[in-house]
Amino acid sequence: MPAPTTSTRPASGSELELTIDTLAHGGNGVARSDGYVVFVSGALPGDRVRAVVTKSKRQYGEARTIEVLEPSPDRIEPVADHPGAPWQVLAYDRQLEIKQQQVHEALTRIGRLEGFELEPIVPAVQQWRYRNKFEYSFGTSESGELVCGFHAAGSFDRIEPVTDCKLASERNNAVREQVVAWCREQNLSAWDRRTQTGLLRNLVIREGQRTDQVQVRLVTSKGDLDADSLVAAVDCDGLFWTQIEQLGETTQGGETKKLSGASKLEEMLGDLRFRVSPEAFFQTNTVMAEKLYGVAVEYAQLRGHERVYDLYCGIGTIALTMATRARQVIGVEIIEPAVANAIENARLNEVLNARFYAGDIRLAMRDLVTEVGKPDVCVIDPPRSGLSQKVVRRIIEAAPGRIVYVSCNPTTLAPNAAQLVEAGYELKRVRPVDMFPQTPHIECVALLEKQSVSPQ
């Protein structure tokens, strides 16, 4: 028997010279130091780097690149100093190749799935300035000046200011700078994440890329501000102020007040018009959302007689996209305001064969099947954590002939697909869609079909 391999575990805070072999899901480089696996942020396959160890666990370590000693042949010059675009140093064709590979690896290694067709990834139409929504954070510079931007890598309290975010439109950038200028004129303080004092927390800007509308929401602690002068200072179509009491940093919850303009932003997806409340979820890349939903429609293979369940339906984007091709569409969503948006969007688009329900799928699915009947097709667009085992069981009980799974995380798609395959479904096709260029995030659509039972 060969002797077991041993590895030397480096201490946290130590510096290592490492050669990066591959990229892990999530975008960190993977290297080995005397047999010990280290996940390295800011590194690409082929890089030789000097990195500082930030976590030292028994099975693996985590490290941060502090110097690239020998760059990878795939490494290119960055376009901007932007923590939200870590893959901009990787040529775009190579980004697509790696995302395609990672979807395949997740399905085959994590899900142990085989026999499916992995179709070519759909590339992004725009590689820059593609996002329609940003959540900026306020902070204070070392000189004491109010800044607005993004959290520095690995820091919960240090905010890196941004003046021209290359993932945002020029108008988004201009509106952000209007708000920041007003805040400085008013001498307002940023929320201090260590002492948990101060007023300004976040700034949320959403843009209708098809309608040219802009929605702005200022998120603060409890306090006072001159709302009238803020309205005068900011050029937007809807302005909101959210006051939050909880200590953790979040843009959700709290008490939101409309200061001016429309209560909802309007946006188009294909021929459909949607109204989006300030806190509602909407895909952050409008152009590629149309591509993504196009794949979902293609995989659903609707002929006009089907009953479609859209689980985690949000404000109804997928459900309403499919409604014209189906007999009936049923949307289910646990967030009640999103369901209200979905119902309004169905009326706005004069869609009469879509119904929306607020409820937890784990608890509501059986009653729903009893009330409206079993689905022919289930479309699932879950959060990054994927489906719980109980939700998978409810879907299996409903026994749709076809399942279209829209995933923003192939590492959670894989075990869910494996559970469905074990229950008698076959994974037929998977197509990645690049919704987020310059980042490691991967979106894909999977088609599973119920296998027919052969007669005995």
Classify 17 as helix, strand or coil: strand
Environment class of 334 (CB within 10 Å of its CB; exposed 0-12, middle 13-18, buried 19+):
middle
pLDDT of residue 453: 53
pTM: 0.90
- What are the DSSP calls for 284-298, one per residue? S-HHHHHHHHHHHHH
The residue with tokens 């076959």 is 426
Alpha carbon distance 44, 73 (integer Å): 10
Residue 196 corresponds to which tokens in the numbers above? 């948990």
pLDDT of residue 332: 96
Q: Map out the domains of the chain with their CATH numbers.
A: 1-75 (2.40.50.140), 94-126+285-450 (3.40.50.150), 133-266 (2.40.50.1070)
Classify 110 as helix, strand or coil: helix
- Beta strands per DSSP E along 349-423: 354-358, 377-380, 402-407
- What are the DSSP calls for 244-272, one per residue? E-SSS--SSSSEEEEEEE-SSEEEEETTE
pLDDT of residue 2: 45
Alpha carbon distance 231, 118 (integer Å): 50
CB 307 within 8 A of CB 289: no
Sign of the C-alpha dihedral computed for residues 228, 232, 237 and 241 taken in this order: negative
Residue 117 corresponds to which tokens in the numbers above? 């067709």
Catalytic residues: 408
Q: What is the pLDDT tens value at each position of the chain, 456 positions in all?
A: 444 445 678 888 899 999 999 999 888 999 998 889 999 999 999 999 999 999 999 889 999 999 999 999 999 999 988 888 999 999 999 999 999 999 999 999 999 999 999 999 999 999 999 999 999 999 999 899 999 999 887 777 889 999 899 999 999 999 999 999 999 999 999 999 888 899 999 999 999 999 999 999 999 999 999 999 999 999 999 999 999 988 777 788 889 999 999 999 999 999 999 999 998 889 999 999 999 999 999 999 999 999 999 999 999 999 999 999 999 999 999 989 899 999 999 999 999 999 999 999 999 999 999 999 999 999 999 999 999 999 999 999 999 999 999 999 999 999 999 999 999 999 999 999 999 999 999 999 999 999 875 444
Classify 102 as helix, strand or coil: helix
